[in-house]
Structure 1
């Protein structure tokens, strides 16, 4: 009986895992590719456990780094007797310290992220990106932590390690996607934010979300304590706080990647005529007569804002990557993240 109960519980867990996986990866072949990728770390690798990465510090792995002169008290087992025999001088062998990387992913779950329709939803794309980065990290014996910010109920998934932890990662992200779908209170065709229509950037700032990115991330929890890599996945529709967020993460010794998501309808709206546009963050409306001239002004404003974000990231040493959410996730991974050096293949 106990065995049957255990099997039944295992079957339920497997079923739940399959459901979570299907929500995030309709095509599971991408997982096989992610297993052969790693999260790019640069020089910011420092962890508490042994891993497969070479850090910027020296330690006890088997990969030779350099020599240094012998000093009293050194472990003579690391003394290179061949060098001593040739030169008569005592030199110690030093080895690279192989440590793990921690990838921190901050996912924007504010109401505007629900825009884009079922196929091009920014939130779905953001959670899939977190799943991709997380699975690549876990497969490479690194760590992954996820924070959801900007929503009514911020949530955090503490750091996970090991490929077996992918189950918890996928469950967490799939649950966030399902909860967002239940809370969606506006139709995609009516949700284009009035902040991005009309008077340009001044109107965008005036009607942006009540919380700044700085405040939203602060509500999601503390900043990372250890050196690592941080991905911010957001549509960047905040009134303020983006620069402060970048500076805070950089001060926390993070290599920052800003993944900026916009849907096709936000990039090139198909709306025309006299409409009442609803602000998905504030719930307010604005009557607008949309014509070709106003739409052209809108597109210029969006391009200008993207360029300013890219410039801001470059000035502070962060990497900016723009993502059109209508693109298949496999294409985003292969043609965007790999080419940008955010992920890299190790096979």
Structure 2
């Protein structure tokens, strides 16, 4: 997995927002600077020389190592429909990609292969100090909390939402449902199912939009091939 890394730049920046860069050794172009004695010849921009007759050196953005803190949701809803087991597989893929930059588990120190789901769920993050670096949050996103406020508090976030196909597209029109988080029950029919799907669509849109303005986002269905899904949705990128 050394071929890939976790994307940390916003995948959907705010309108008019500019990336602030500092010069250094990296992969992304920063600016052209007049050639100075001691510059490496391999960084000379020969196209600029052909246009102007002057030597310029290509300067690249510095790549500061990122420190990733992984938060694995272990709340009751994650134990349904294979979500917890699948989320653990996703976490192992992501930590493997982040080892060279620093991978830590929330409350557990440096990642050394241990999995520590947080049974209190993401709501725990609302009342705790923001971790340094980038928070990688693996959750089904179904906790009743102010998600926009939470993501903005984390500031630099990679949100990987894990849901079961049955949650995204219920295959029933009538049922007696029980909320595993709070224990309440509700009879539902076709009207309620359609209302749920409409509300879920809006919820997913808000999560996706907010997370991509702060970092990156992916929605994974249990059973999806992990790496292709993360690459397609911009959470992973090639080094």
Q: Is this a same-fold pair by TM over 0.5? A: yes
| Ranges in structure 2 where 5+ consecutive residues have no aligned partner | 11-19, 42-56
8 Å Cα contact 2:152/2:214 also seen in 1: no
Selected match of 1:222 from 119, 129, 133:
129
- How far apart, CA to CA, are the structure 2 residues paired with 1:95 and 1:272? 57
Partner of 2:102: 143
8 Å Cα contact 2:151/2:210 also seen in 1: no
Partner of 2:4: 37
Selected match of 1:263 from 145, 154, 164:
164
Partner of 2:206: 308
How many residues align? The count is: 215
- How far apart, CA to CA, are the structure 2 residues paired with 1:234 and 1:343? 17
Selected match of 2:76 from 91, 111, 117:
111
Say if 2:237 is the partner of 1:339.
Answer: no
Partner of 1:322: 219
Shift of 1:123: 1.7
Partner of 1:100: 65
Question: What do residues 94-123 of structure 1 show as CA deviations (whole Å, max 9, x unaligned)?
Answer: 88655422222222111111111xxxx222
Question: What do residues 213-251 of structure 1 show as CA deviations (whole Å, max 9, x unaligned)?
Answer: 4x41156x53223xx43322211222223112221122x
Which structure: larger Rg?
1
8 Å Cα contact 1:104/1:146 also seen in 2: yes
TM-score by length of 2: 0.70
TM-score by length of 1: 0.51
8 Å Cα contact 1:233/1:261 also seen in 2: yes
| Ranges in structure 1 where 5+ consecutive residues have no aligned partner | 1-33, 44-54, 71-77, 83-91, 148-155, 161-167, 181-210
If asked which structure has higher relative contact order (CA below 8 Å, sep 6+), I would say 2
Partner of 1:243: 148
